[in-house]
Amino acid sequence: MFGMPAASFWWFLSWPVIWAVLAILVYIKMTREERSEEGE
């Protein structure tokens, strides 16, 4: 784990992945909302 204690690794280095997944989910959610608002 890059020479780090496990706690530091998971608390700090996993976040970029979490944020990237969240960004994709937000994109999908907003696209669905737009479709529903446009009445498709």
CB atoms within 10 A of CB 9: 13
CA atoms within 13 A of residue 31's CA, in its CB half-sphere: 6
The binding site for another protein (CB under 8 A) comprises 2-5, 7-8, 11-12, 15-16, 18-20, 22-24, 26-27, 30-31, 33-34, 36-37, 39
Q: How far is the CB of 10 from another protein (least distance, A)?
A: 10
Distance CA 22, CA 39 (A): 26
Q: How far is the CB of 25 from another protein (least distance, A)?
A: 9
Q: How far is the CB of 15 from another protein (least distance, A)?
A: 4
